[in-house]
Structure 1
Amino acid sequence: MSSNSKSKKLTLLSLILMIFTSVFGFANMPRSFYLMGYGAIPWYILSAITFFIPYAFMMAEYGAAFKDEKGGIYSWMEKSVGAKYAFMGTFMWYASYIIWMVNICSTLWIPLSNAIFGKDTTSSWGFLGLNSTQVLGVLGIVWIIFVTFTASKGLEKITKITSIGGSAVALLNIVLLISAIIVLIANGGHLAEPITSIKSFVHSPNPSYQTPISVLAFIVFAIFGYGGIEVVGGLVDETENAEVTFPKGITISAIIIAIGYSIGIFLCGIFTNWNTALSSKDVNIGNIAYSLMHNLGYQLGHSFGMNEASSILVGDWIARFVGLSMFLALTGAFFTLCYSPLKQIIEGTPKKLWPGNLAEIKDGMPINAMRVQCIVVVIFIILVSFGGDVAAKFFNKLILMTNVAMTMPYVFLSTAFISFKKKTEIKKPFEVYKTKKSTLIATIVVTFTIAFANFFTIIEPATKGNISDTLFSIIGPVFFIIVAILMYNSYEKKYIIKGKNKNKTL
């Protein structure tokens, strides 16, 4: 780090905005309302109680205890349980984010298209004889190169971009809140989606979400809507007064996000009647955020006494604003996720585990590893964009393999928490779970919730007759764990066991 590193440390606000862009998905609220109506709210509250908030407190305790460690979740698990255990969990988690980046490089342009044109036009994009898939691929390659180059300049650049993304999402939520209240007042306090009884918070207005299996599928959706808070683990050592700021940032963020999701879903019902606005075949899970917010603008226009054409125009501009905000939020999340997971696995693990100078750190950044990561992502994008249907199907299988693998580290971290609490030699300046009983209860509840969500994610395709998708969901974590074990065993044989034998001969 340079001599002015103190000025580059993350403040509480910067940390909260980073967590916000990494975890909070604005689109989750309109999607949840589309799937379950008000019935989504109890499940988000339950998921926050059984997973997100207790898990966030665990991350806060880890972060405060290991405030000087640069390896993030790898260091946390390595100090609590052991190196091989930590490497298995972190490697699987990191590999999943590689696939996530490849996917986002192509889909990032959909919200941008909505911001510019008012709708998704990406399927019609063509340039110099390239079809839309290839154009999106080229844009994705340019994007990952740009992000890698910018992020490699230091944390200060990343912080500025994630702050813009976090601020954009915060502003979008303010627009939703204020506009919904204006519409409610204009309608004399009447909700567009009426609350007839307690059943309104249990049953879904969506005909596709009437069975126990479909409700279970939504619970999984709600749980995974809270994922990603462990990503900021690699930023503890970059946080100003980390011992205090980091747990405070995680706690504040967790509470805001948990409350925000439930309030946001309720606000959707203020200005949107499900049967009138969302039952059309043109509305789907992909465009619901734009459709619902367009309806907000339309209703807002009517609240101010505008005519039909003017109200539609207000709706168009709010939908464009949603597209821009979601583009900026995805950009902020992308910058954090292209750097933080890699930083944790590189800085936490032994340098000799990685070939050549891959583990070298310059100005606090794993620049060489970031460049290799960029090349890997570019290769994947080229294969998917220019490889035809076979390559596209292969990538879809990779996504299936990483769906569960991305969340398995939650189980690794929650399980390791018991060992972490038992080790009295680890100084714990911030503690929420102060007794063995509270630690055990929190660990069991969090681990069971994640295990349940993953189990259902795995079996859900099989319940619809798609056995291959279920098999690939199982193969993913198993494959990544085997690769991690082989890598670590190779390192042990080369350096640890060999070193011990050498000392014995001496």
Structure 2
Amino acid sequence: MEKDTQKKQVLTTTSLVLMIITTVYGFGNVSVSYEQMTYAGIIWFVLAGICFFFPAGLMMAEYGSAFHDAEGGIYSWLAGSIGEKWAFIGTFVWLANWVLWLVASASRLWISISALIFGKDTTQSWHFLGLHGTQLIGVLAILFMIVSTYLSSRGMTGIKIMSSIGGFFMIAMNLVFIISSIIVIILNHGQLAQPITGWQSFIISPNKSFQTPITIISFIVYAVFAYGGMETVGGVTDSMKHPEKDFPKGLIIGSLFTIISYVLMIFMTGFSVNYQKDILGGNANTGNITYVVYGTLGKAIGSAFHLNMATSLMIGEIFTRAIALSGLMGMIGAFFVLLYSPIKSFILGSNPHLWPKAATKLNKHNIPANAMWAQTIFVCLIIAFVSFGGSAAANFYQILTDMGNVAATAPYIFLIGAFPFFLKKDYPRKFRVFTNYKWTVALVIFVEIIVCTGIIFTVLQPILQHQYAKAFWTGFGPIFFALIAYIFYHVSKKKNNVD
């Protein structure tokens, strides 16, 4: 593997926190939670944060402190704990999910741009040079992939700038939401738009679709998976000046910010949004609920200041466009991080003899540019096939989407399950939280049960809805990706005489 001797670009703790916020936190999760459960969603986000996200974050902080010079992120963490074969399989399943995320996001990005400019999705009416709708979006998505890969391959500076911009916009819109909500509640003399009628308001959802045990469990799974993605920043430890201290600090700050933000924002949504009037009456759904929430908040600001209806509606429109811009910048920021970090962790963490020399070669910016371009070509081919392939291609894309449903969380089984083995090896590290081995094993089992329950229910839910094909591909996805990884690992190992 070739390494450049140039001075490496330094990533600060603040930049790491912004990366975590960009890749994990999403106001969309807040608004969807409110649309499904209102205040009753708070308790599940608190429990998911305390029982899953925070302990998992502390485990990753210890991994990062021990393997602070490792270039492979979670691959290096797993390899150092349970061996290279399982690290290869677990990381490949994880990478496969993020590749599918790139495919979807490169196209979905243009819907966000349409919402920002026109106030709604108009992409199906777009046309240029004989291309229309899905075809034009596909071409634009491919161009965006190429430009993003070029900029990302120029070094950590571009990735850091884009993720920081995305994180800044998210924090800014959170502040706007908090300040505006406080103004509304003060001017309305403490009267909530969604009234609290006792403890039942925090336990029972007004949404009749989320009052049965099965649907409540589905929401709990949603709350757990809303915290996913923090492990993606594991590949940047070698770009930090003092990773053994700064990486754990960044993870803890980022995880606490995320948990507090989710809980606070769900509660404050009730200051301006009434479930019956604004959600049921406003024809809100999971696709547009974020815009509905911000638009309603803007109108509530105008109403609280006793402005006329036209002015209140205009403020609502401004708020809607602002959250559309924030969501767009957040998506772009996450795109740059996820374009680089997963493939870098996988390629540079694994044994270099498993790959052609070109794959592990670093450019002058210390970036595995060849591997990133190979990933981009693969993503672009899928986008082109889906965009120009007609109904058969659309069905293929739906299968890919279903296969990726649990692929993102499956690696947590490896990461969390490997932690006791990691502790047994007692790697030197400056950050230690888990000092009692027996209690740690008990905690690992508890968190593993949460993750496995979520994955099992994700597979069972479409069966309960009689969507058997979706259930099959959802369950088969991680198994299929693991089989590919297993076959590739053993074939490459044998071919290249790797011990």
- 366, 369, 373: which one pairs with 2:368? 366
Q: Is the 1:148–1:371 Cα contact (8 Å) retained in structure 2? A: yes
The code of the aligned residue for 2:409 comes to T
Residues 276-324 of structure 1 deviation map (CA, whole Å, 9 limit, x = unaligned): 1000363110000001100000000112221000000000011000000
Aligned-pair CA distance for 1:364: 1.4
**What secondary structure sits across from 1:338 in the alignment?**
helix
Tell me the equivalent position of 2:329: 328
Tell me the equivalent position of 2:147: 146
Unpaired stretches in structure 1, ≥5 consecutive residues: 500-506
Q: Distance in 2 between matches of 1:168 and 1:202?
A: 32
Tell me the equivalent position of 2:400: 398
Aligned-pair CA distance for 1:4: 6.3
Residues 383-407 of structure 1 deviation map (CA, whole Å, 9 limit, x = unaligned): 1111111101111111111111121
Q: Does 1:353 align with 2:351?
A: no
Tell me the equivalent position of 2:415: 413
Q: Please give the residue correspondences for 1:446-485 in structure 2 after superposition, counting only pairs within 5 Å.
A: 446-485=447-486
Q: Is the 2:244–2:429 Cα contact (8 Å) retained in structure 1? A: no
Residues 39-93 of structure 1 deviation map (CA, whole Å, 9 limit, x = unaligned): 1100000101111000000010000000011111111110111000100000111
Tell me the TM-score normalized by structure 1: 0.96
Q: Please give the residue correspondences for 1:415-434 in structure 2 after superposition, counting only pairs within 5 Å.
A: 415-424=417-426, 426-434=427-435
Tell me the TM-score normalized by structure 2: 0.97
- Range that drifts further, 474-483 or 253-262: 474-483
**What secondary structure sits across from 2:445 in the alignment?**
helix
**What secondary structure sits across from 2:210 in the alignment?**
coil
The code of the aligned residue for 2:360 comes to A
Moved segments of 4+, more than 4 Å: 1-4
The code of the aligned residue for 2:69 comes to D
Aligned-pair CA distance for 1:437: 2.2
- Range that drifts further, 124-133 or 31-40: 124-133
Tell me the equivalent position of 2:304: 303
Q: Distance in 1 between matches of 2:125 and 2:107?
A: 14
The code of the aligned residue for 2:342 comes to P
Tell me the equivalent position of 1:233: 234
The code of the aligned residue for 2:393 comes to A
Q: Distance in 2 between matches of 1:260 and 1:459?
A: 30
Tell me the equivalent position of 1:105: 106
Tell me the equivalent position of 1:73: 74
Tell me the equivalent position of 1:375: 377
Residues 345-403 of structure 1 deviation map (CA, whole Å, 9 limit, x = unaligned): 01011122123511211121110011111111110010111111110111111111111
Aligned-pair CA distance for 1:495: 3.4
The code of the aligned residue for 1:473 comes to T
Q: Is the 1:114–1:319 Cα contact (8 Å) retained in structure 2? A: no
The code of the aligned residue for 2:288 comes to N
Identity %: 43
Tell me the equivalent position of 1:504: none
The code of the aligned residue for 1:148 comes to T
Aligned-pair CA distance for 1:213: 1.2
Aligned-pair CA distance for 1:2: 6.3
The code of the aligned residue for 1:321 comes to A
Q: Does 1:158 align with 2:155?
A: no
- Range that drifts further, 278-287 or 189-198: 278-287
1:496/1:429 Cα in 2 relative to 1: closer, same or farther (>3 Å)? farther
The code of the aligned residue for 2:391 comes to D
- Range that drifts further, 53-62 or 481-490: 481-490
Length, aligned pairs only: 496
Tell me the equivalent position of 2:320: 319
Q: Distance in 2 between matches of 1:348 and 1:494?
A: 19
Tell me the equivalent position of 1:502: none
The code of the aligned residue for 2:369 comes to I
Q: Distance in 2 between matches of 1:85 and 1:32?
A: 35
Q: Is the 2:114–2:123 Cα contact (8 Å) retained in structure 1? A: yes
Aligned-pair CA distance for 1:156: 0.7
Q: Distance in 2 between matches of 1:436 and 1:368?
A: 42
Tell me the equivalent position of 1:387: 389
Aligned-pair CA distance for 1:132: 1.3
Q: Please give the residue correspondences for 1:12-51 in structure 2 after superposition, counting only pairs within 5 Å.
A: 12-51=13-52
- Range that drifts further, 192-201 or 297-306: 297-306
Q: Distance in 1 between matches of 2:494 and 2:118?
A: 58
The code of the aligned residue for 1:254 comes to S
Residues 90-118 of structure 1 deviation map (CA, whole Å, 9 limit, x = unaligned): 01110111111000011112222222222
Q: Distance in 2 between matches of 1:293 and 1:122?
A: 22
Q: Is the 1:162–1:333 Cα contact (8 Å) retained in structure 2? A: yes
Q: Distance in 2 between matches of 1:294 and 1:123?
A: 24
Q: Does 1:486 align with 2:464?
A: no
Q: CA RMSD in A?
A: 1.3
Q: Is the 2:68–2:237 Cα contact (8 Å) retained in structure 1? A: yes
